[in-house]
A and B are shown apart, each in its own frame.
Chain A
Amino acid sequence: MKDCITLAHGSGGKAYRELVERVFAPAFQNEYLAPLTDAAVCPGSGRIALTTDGYVVTPLFFPGGDIGRLAVSGTVNDLAVSGAIPRYLTVGMVLETGLPVETLQRVVRSMADTAAEAGVQIVTGDTKVVEAGGCSGIYLTTAGVGLFPEGMEIPPQRPEAGDAIVTSGRIGSHGMAVMAARHSLAFDPAIESDVRPMARAVRAVLDAGCIVRAMRDPTRGGVAGTLSEWAGTRLDITLEEEALPVRADVRDACAILGIDPLYVANEGVVLFSLPAKDAERAVAALRTQTGCEQAAVIGRVSDGRGSVFAKTRIGTFRRILPPSGEQLPRIC
């Protein structure tokens, strides 16, 4: 018989313990998880950052990543952009009966690898099993704790007029990779997601002495979503469309599918709003980091009325509205 998840794995009995010992414990191995008690007890002091997020992406595996890497990166990035140093993660899993244990193992290994890459530890978890049709393979919920070292400035998350907008790298890759995989769009080579933990890249900018007024990982809603929120009601943000770094395959896919990369989700990008004088230093610091080689200044912040504009290649302006609804391929 194929080695699959059954309702017994969720019962808390023998099958569950076997799953923990065979799949989870070896992958996530660390001193806080090892006792396998109800709560992990971890060191830390001062202010903490705490975040949580759910992951329901289909397909579970897509070029460049999978739901496990996505869950760890997403939570690490939420912590990192708060200015905290990500430390501990928890993971809750909802598994569908019939899921091959081998698939679960791949996801778990990917989570462990990504956690190691980000310098965080997965310290506790939970597993529930639902009947077939109750979820699509695996749903993950992660929570994360980050620490603010003594004396560290916490970014106010408030852009100011005169700031420059910096992207850590090329935009739109993750959303297009998932869309291509979900709709079997058969680009060749396949469009790869850039999903990755960005904690080290954020740290590089802070360590370079840049004053960071705001940072955000522009996931759902893309760059347009983040900038619209930043513009609020009293600022305008103007992008230089030609300065926006977009990978050539992503640019092509967006053109073919009629999608604006500004609205596409990212999972390995951080946007910064910082004083213009610090912008080039931030870009230089970012470019030393893996995945940030194309970091660039892409716009500026001014006093205004809450609008985002893009200056086009012909010198005109178009308005970037807040995102509404899911991005879908179009033909007209």
Chain B
Amino acid sequence: MNSIEVLSRKIESLADGLPPTTIMEVCGTHTHAIRRYGVRQLLPKQVRLVSGPGCPVCVTAQEDVARALALARLPNVTLFCFGDMMRVPCGTASLSSLRADGADVRICVSPMDAFEFAREHPLREVVWFGVGFETTTPHTAALIEAGIRSGVKNLSILCAHKTMPNALRALLGGETRVDALLCPGHVAAITGADAFAFLPEEYGISAAISGFEPEELLLAIFALLKMQASGTPKLVNAYPRVVNPAGNPAARSLVETYFEPCDALWRGLGEISSSGLSLRPAFAKWDAGARFSMEPVAAVPASGCRCGDVLRGRIEPNECALFGQACTPEQPLGACMVSSEGACAAYYQYEGAGI
């Protein structure tokens, strides 16, 4: 018997004696892996997996996307971003549509590409559109460090980085149906497992840090159910080959050097205190917002959109009236349909057929 069979049998026999249990994952790559491998098909009916706010593309506020678009429209600006952000719509435009219209928007795999480009093109103003959680923020910090070390003058950051713990607090503090949390393995690789210890301690909720292979996901789910069964919520590190208690100190200290916590807007969830990062005042000149005077933008959420409820685990994507009708991956209205990692987009893509 292979480990998938072993684990699914263990889960099944354990779930037998449990009330319906809702497990939320808060990592877009978990969402993707769960759908990609059809992990739900291996779980008993009582175990429900829902996707929380773990996709940086989805939770990036419309206001931040609007600022990126405004910057990309400036004739002397070259805007670098991850491919994920290209198709995020804001009104009728996206970075992708601006690029088609002639704006200089470039996709990179590493933020350091923006640094290399800035060095080679001193007459262009290069802006890095930094999005992502603890795993990705250190990259932006390293970019600033490289900029400072080399003395480049034409590089700045549009910072929309976010942090996980307070978002989870906001989520669990409100009305939610979540019984247990699958914690993001690659965020924990940086923050350390201990960063998630507050989940059982403050909220009495079981938490397991998981990897991204189906075996690893099943193992973490098994751990969560086991804790549900015994009534002793804890934090289990089910991804120890990557995650240690303290995380990556070099990455964290680099982030602390350049960034400080700030209140942040989450698409679908609204403002959450101390859930974002902004440049420390000493490094304000690296802030694209300060370098280019930009009008503040107010975004209007799509009427009828229930992404907030989806992100809180209150409803399944297909319970929203817009899902698959007005809101599709081709024409997304809500946060969760925007990226293929979003709860609604992933649901649409992998479960549309009802398998």
Q: A and B: real partners?
A: yes
The yes or no answer to B330 lying at the interface (CB within 8 A) is yes
* Any B CB within 8 A of the CB of A42: no
CB distance from A228 to the nearest CB of B (A): 12
**CB of A2 within 8 A of chain B?**
no
Is residue B36 contacting chain A, with contact meaning CB distance below 8 A?
Answer: yes
Asked whether A312 lies within 8 Å of B82 as measured between CB atoms, the reply is no
Chain A residues contacting B35 (CB-CB under 8 Å) are 318
Task: Confirm or deny: A152 has a beta carbon within 8 angstroms of a beta carbon on chain B.
Answer: no
Within A314-332, the residues touching B (CB, 8 Å) are 314-319, 321, 324-326, 328-332
Size band of the interface chain B makes with A: 35 or more
Residues from chain B with Cβ under 8 Å of A330 in the complex: 82-84, 339-341
* A257 at interface by CB-CB < 8 Å: yes
Q: Does A121 contact B (CB under 8 A)?
A: no
- Contacting pair A332 B57 (CB below 8 A): yes
| B87 and A325 contact, CB distance less than 8 A | yes
Given contacts A329-B107, A329-B109, A331-B136, contact A314 B84 (CB under 8 A): no
Name the one of B86, B214, B351 contacting A319, with C-beta atoms under 8 angstroms: B351
B residues in contact with A317, CB < 8 Å: 38, 41, 355
Bound state CA distance, A115 and B5, in angstroms?
Answer: 53
Asked whether, in the complex, the Cβ of A316 is within 8 Å of the Cβ of B136, the reply is no
Residues of chain B within 8 A (CB-CB) of A321 are 348-349, 352
**Min CB distance, B117 to chain A, in Å?**
10
Q: Are A332 and B107 in contact (CB under 8 A)?
A: no
Contact partner of A185 (CB less than 8 A), chosen from B109, B339, B351, B355, is B109
A39 close to B (CB within 8 Å): no
Checking A183, A256, A314, A325 against B330 with a beta-carbon cut-off of 8 angstroms, the contacting residue is: A325
Q: Which single residue of chain A is at the shortest CB-CB distance from B348?
A: A321
Cβ of A272 within 8 Å of any chain B Cβ, yes or no, is: no
A307 at the binding interface (Cβ < 8 Å)? yes
Interface residue B322 (Cβ < 8 Å from any Cβ of A): no
CB distance from A244 to the nearest CB of B (A): 14
B348–chain A nearest beta-carbon distance, Å: 8
- Highest count of chain B CB atoms <10 Å: which of A312, A331, A332: A332
Q: In the complex, A97 Cα to B253 Cα: how many Å? A: 52
Complex contact B109–A257 (CB within 8 A): yes
Q: How far is the CA of A166 from the CA of B227 in the complex (A)?
A: 47
Chain B minimum-CB-distance residue to A316:
B38
Q: Which of B299-346 contact A (CB under 8 A)?
A: 329-330, 339-341
Contacts of A309 in B (CB 8 A): 353, 355
Q: How far in angstroms is the closest Cβ of chain A from B112?
A: 12
Contacting residues, chain A, for B29 (C-beta < 8 A): 332
In the assembly, what is the distance between CA of A314 and CA of B96, in Å? Answer: 36
By the criterion of a CB under 8 Å from any partner CB, how many residues of chain A are at the interface?
Answer: 23
Tell me if B138 is interfacial: C-beta within 8 Å of chain A: no
Assess the A328–B83 pair: CB atoms within 8 A: yes
Q: Of residues 287 to 332 in A, which have CB atoms within 8 Å of B's CB atoms?
A: 307, 309, 312, 314-319, 321, 324-326, 328-332
Cα distance A256–B38 in the bound complex, in angstroms: 21
B39 contacts A by Cβ under 8 Å: yes
Q: Establish whether residues A328 and B109, one from each chain, have CB atoms under 8 Å apart when the complex forms.
A: no
Partner of A318, one of B84, B348, B350: B350
Residues of B within 8 A of A328 (CB): 83-84, 86-87, 107
- B35 to chain A minimum Cβ distance, whole angstroms, is 7
Contact B4 A314, beta carbon cutoff 8 Å: yes
Asked if B55 and A332 make an inter-chain contact with CB atoms under 8 angstroms apart, the answer reads yes
> B246 an interface residue at 8 Å Cβ cutoff?
no
Write out the residue numbers on chain A whose beta carbons fall within 8 Å of the beta carbon of B37: 312, 314, 316, 318
Chain A, residues 243-262, CB within 8 Å of chain B (1/0): the string is: 00000000000001100000
B140, chain A: closest CB distance, angstroms: 12
B211 at interface by CB-CB < 8 Å: no
Chain B residues, Cβ within 8 Å of A326: 96
Q: Which residues of chain B (33-47) have a CB below 8 Å from chain A?
A: 35-39, 41-42
CB distance from B215 to the nearest CB of A (A): 8
Instruction: Check B132 against A319 for contact (C-beta < 8 Å).
Output: no
* Distance in Å: Cβ of B76 to nearest Cβ of chain A: 18
Using a CB-CB cutoff of 8 Å, which residues 71-125 of chain B contact chain A?
A: 82-84, 86-87, 96, 107-109, 113
Residues of A within 8 A of B109 (CB): 183, 185, 256-257, 329, 331
Q: In the bound complex, how far is the Cα of B81 from the Cα of A331, in angstroms?
A: 10
- Residue B56 is within 8 A (CB to CB) of chain A in the complex: yes
Give the distance to chain B from A59, nearest Cβ to Cβ, in Å.
Answer: 15
Q: How far is the CB of A234 from chain B (nearest CB, A)?
A: 15
Q: Does B28 make an interface contact (CB < 8 A)?
A: yes
- With A309-B353, A316-B41, A318-B350 known, 19 other A-B pairs at CB within 8 A are A184-B113, A257-B109, A312-B214, A315-B4, A318-B36, A318-B38, A319-B349, A319-B351, A321-B348, A321-B349, A326-B96, A329-B109, A330-B339, A331-B84, A331-B132, A332-B28, A332-B55, A332-B56, A332-B341
Q: What would 30 A/B residue contacts be, using CB atoms closer than 8 Å?
A: A183-B109, A257-B83, A309-B355, A312-B36, A312-B214, A314-B42, A316-B39, A316-B42, A317-B355, A318-B36, A319-B349, A319-B351, A319-B352, A321-B348, A321-B349, A321-B352, A324-B330, A328-B84, A328-B87, A328-B107, A329-B82, A329-B107, A329-B109, A330-B82, A330-B339, A331-B84, A331-B136, A332-B55, A332-B56, A332-B341
Q: Which 4 A/B pairs are nearest by Cβ-Cβ distance? A: A316-B38, A328-B83, A329-B83, A332-B28
